[in-house]
């Protein structure tokens, strides 16, 4: 008869104990742990349409036919800032080479809620489209109009209830506002406690709002009214983006390439399936993103022949590049266009791992 800790145990009790241990083990598999899963997400052809609507629609100016695909890549993340995954899901992820099991804190700060994450993701996606417009128009040498506006208003600070997100800032203390940086400088140039006069445009009407500043929560002797200032770039014609249920800033470069392709003769893609990722700023600088291994995998499965990757992400790709996919690093929008042109003309491109 089996023994536990030197004591004789009845067979029936031993069977019950075994079932209990099994039950506890199974229950442990489904307990939440602070990790998230990153899986390959869908690709969106920025030259194409969804439900009859072009992902990048340009009207009011001459456009040209496009061909092939310029795909924006995505990552599906499971286990948000307030969720996590269970151990069973983590084990499945560790066994699947296409899935990354990542500590939740590496993606989401502890203070972030699900709603805040959603709001930030939507805002980042909108900003990526705004920056893509500016970068593409600047590359093409086309005129760009900019508006400085209130992007956010902090609760319980002086601007709360007086300013609204979307208010266009025309002047601060009588000085015309031309850049977001200038607006911040003008607000901070006085003394804490002074009244700041802001001339703004809201719903087509001009008004003046006066707000008394307080001490900046992080910067000593610095006036603060509790707003975030952003820049909106516009052209003489209309550019609309029709992508929904996607967030984050990583589609910026591919949006900019789509705009350039539609405003210039010929096929920037060379008629081939191209994919890529990367943030972009209004000056055309391409920045690093997350989940690039999953994006590479999805692009290869989709049949892409070339992948444009931010140069800063090259170190993440060693050992993860499929044989059928050329991955080339870029740091600017100009480099991305050059890479597409060279690829279309059959030239050999630098390989991303070689850039390490």
Tokens for 146? Answer: 């900019």
Whole-model pTM: value is 0.79
Q: How far apart are CA 163 and CA 201, in angstroms?
A: 11
Q: Looking at the structure, do residues 154 and 194 belong to the same domain, yes or no?
A: yes
Closest CA to 178 of 225, 229, 143: 229
Structural domain total, the chain: 2
Q: Looking at the structure, do residues 98 and 127 belong to the same domain, yes or no?
A: yes
CA distances for 184 relative to 120, 158, 206, 217, 267, angstroms: 21, 15, 20, 15, 42
Tokens for 330? Answer: 């870029």
CB-count burial class (<10 Å; 0-12, 13-18, 19+) for 126: middle
74 Cβ contact list (under 8 Å, min separation 6): 41, 42, 43, 44, 246, 250, 251, 295, 298
Decide if 1 is inside a domain.
Answer: no
Tokens for 41? Answer: 């997400």
Asked if the model's pLDDT at residue 315 lies above 60, the reply is: yes
Q: Looking at the structure, do residues 252 and 339 belong to the same domain, yes or no?
A: yes
Determine the structural domain holding residue 193 and report its residue range: 145-234
- pLDDT tens digits along 101-111: 888 777 777 76
Asked if the model's pLDDT at residue 76 lies above 70, the reply is: yes
Q: Looking at the structure, do residues 109 and 253 belong to the same domain, yes or no?
A: yes
Q: Looking at the structure, do residues 243 and 324 belong to the same domain, yes or no?
A: yes
Q: How far apart are CA 255 and CA 250, in angstroms?
A: 10
CATH number, domain with residue 96: 3.30.230
- pLDDT tens digits along 145-190: 888 999 889 989 999 999 999 899 999 999 999 888 899 999 999 9
Q: What is the pLDDT of residue 246?
A: 78
Q: Looking at the structure, do residues 138 and 244 belong to the same domain, yes or no?
A: yes
Asked if the model's pLDDT at residue 235 lies above 80, the reply is: yes
Q: Looking at the structure, do residues 243 and 101 belong to the same domain, yes or no?
A: yes
Q: Looking at the structure, do residues 168 and 73 belong to the same domain, yes or no?
A: no
Q: What is the pLDDT of residue 27?
A: 55
DSSP calls for 248-307: SSTTHHHHHHHHHHHHSSS-TTTTSEEEE--EE-TT-BEE--S-HHHHHHHHHHHT-SEE
Residue that is last in its domain, among 234, 261, 282:
234
Q: What is the pLDDT of residue 36?
A: 83
């Amino acid at each position: 008869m089996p023994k536990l800790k030197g004591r004789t145990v009845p067979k029936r009790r031993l069977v019950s104990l075994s079932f209990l241990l099994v039950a506890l083990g199974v229950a442990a598999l489904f307990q939440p742990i602070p990790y998230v899963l990153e899986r390959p997400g869908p690709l969106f052809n920025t030259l194409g349409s969804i439900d009859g609507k072009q992902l990048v629609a340009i009207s009011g100016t001459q456009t040209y036919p496009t061909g092939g695909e310029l795909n924006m890549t995505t990552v599906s993340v499971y286990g948000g800032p307030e969720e996590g995954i269970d151990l069973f899901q983590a084990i499945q992820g560790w066994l699947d080479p296409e899935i990354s099991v990542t500590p939740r804190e590496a993606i989401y700060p502890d203070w972030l809620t699900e709603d805040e994450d959603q709001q930030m993701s939507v805002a980042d996606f909108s900003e990526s489209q705004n920056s893509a417009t500016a970068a593409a128009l600047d590359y093409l040498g086309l005129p760009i109009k900019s508006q400085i506006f209130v992007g956010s208003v902090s609760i319980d600070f002086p601007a709360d209830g007086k300013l609204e997100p979307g208010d266009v800032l025309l002047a601060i203390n009588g000085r015309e506002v031309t850049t977001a940086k200038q607006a911040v400088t003008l607000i901070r140039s006085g003394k804490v406690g002074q009244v700041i006069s802001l001339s703004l445009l809201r719903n087509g009407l001009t008004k003046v709002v006066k707000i008394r500043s307080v001490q900046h929560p992080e910067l000593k002797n610095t006036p603060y009214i509790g707003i975030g200032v952003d820049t909106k770039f516009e052209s003489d014609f209309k550019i609309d983006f029709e992508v929904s249920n996607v967030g984050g800033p990583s589609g910026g470069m591919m949006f900019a390439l789509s705009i350039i392709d539609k405003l210039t003769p010929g096929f920037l893609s060379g008629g081939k399936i191209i994919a890529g990722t990367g943030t972009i700023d209004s000056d055309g600088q391409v920045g690093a993103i997350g989940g690039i291994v999953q994006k590479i995998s999805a692009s290869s499965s989709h049949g892409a022949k070339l992948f444009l990757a931010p140069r800063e992400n090259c170190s993440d790709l060693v050992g993860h590049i499929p044989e059928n996919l050329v991955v080339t690093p870029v740091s600017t929008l100009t480099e991305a266009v050059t890479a597409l042109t060279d690829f279309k003309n059959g030239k050999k491109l630098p390989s991303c791992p070689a850039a390490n």
